[in-house]
Chain A
Amino acid sequence: MSELVDTFVRNAEAAGFEVHRGEAPRIAGAGVSRADYGVAATGSVVLAASHGEPRARHLVPEVHVSLLREDAIVADLAALFAALDGRIPSALAIVTGPSRSADIEQRLVVGVHGPREVHVVLEAS
């Protein structure tokens, strides 16, 4: 289990997340969501739209925080889809880092339409 978490942390940080353990950072104006899953192989958080989790929450604010239980981390995309087990939400967002674009002169700029800063707070199971 902890190897999965370590893989997740490594890949999430490489994708541009700031990963915290335990205590969520307090950032004014940040959107805070409970992530349904984490994907270790890609370092992604998975947010399902539902009552209480609007789609725009992880898109409109400039900073977004995902709360993720360690035991909700799955190995890869195939495992994620298997875990859904036929219960497909109306919108499932697999988020892998901050909003970014390289459309201007192929140079990376962050926070184009979605958040420029993204955090994951790992909660021990």
Chain B
Amino acid sequence: MLLDVLEERLLGGDDPIAFDEALAVAELPDAEVPSLIALAHRVRLARTGPGVELESIISAKTGACSEDCGFCSQSRHWRSPLRPEPFIDVAEMVAAAQAAEKLGSTEFCIVLAVRGPDDRIMQQVLAATEALRTSTGLRVACSLGILTREQAATLASAGVHRYNHNMEAARSFFPAICSTHTWEERRETCRLVGDAGMELCSGGIVGMGESLRQRVELAFELRDLGPREVPVNFLNPRPGTPLQDQPLVGALEAVKTIALFRLVLPGAVIRPAGGREVILRDLQALGMLAGANALIVGNYLTTLGRAPEDDLRMLADLGMPIGRLDPR
């Protein structure tokens, strides 16, 4: 009944899902998941079309981060097997981007483990952006942490197309996972990104111990920010971090969460991201049918992904063409 009502409203026009309705979706029993998938897929097709945007990412500066995000192996606060690495050689980054472009990626995101960029990092990122823009046809995205207004404007002027700054968790849950900066500081950077004219990419991590209500809160808080892209990460507990023994989210629950985000953010680029291999396992295609229209192809920042050819074959089997997705 709920899904029938939502279908009529969400496909019918500008009548967005309400918080209590989204919470009811999050609480649907597993038996209802096929119907939820069907609805999310129809909403996705109606609002964004059949295309899938592929992105590749690279850790351009790894580890030794000053922040204490409890999920992250790159924080210097935790004893992790990960060894810090300085800024990657630009030639190696360009070669990696060219390899990603050959796979079909249209976005390439430069990611640094920092609270925010200092002047030296800004210069390194600007040089890398220029090299990528002249050597590839990829759109360049960045994820450099907390920005000043001037830094956001500089990145936009340099041709950075999209900026990633995940809210990570609902406002009510964020203090449980990070104490070195606030949720409000993250939101401010997201606003600066939009003000500067870059597309905002902001999502979160599912499975850090939040309640279903807090998961829905995150989706609505993101909706208020109006991101072009919403990465939906699933916690893959990292050794040495405070969340290393956190139980994994179930595969069907993950599929349900993707669908939930589609219903709350019907026109966004919804990208199942880190952790999908561990959480969705054999249900990758169901994740795509549950409203996703993007993937990170290849490896992540510090962990490995699915073999790219497996994802490409899956998308071909699903009849989902890959390419750029521009706002409708």
Partners in one complex: no
A residues near B (Cβ < 8 Å) are: none
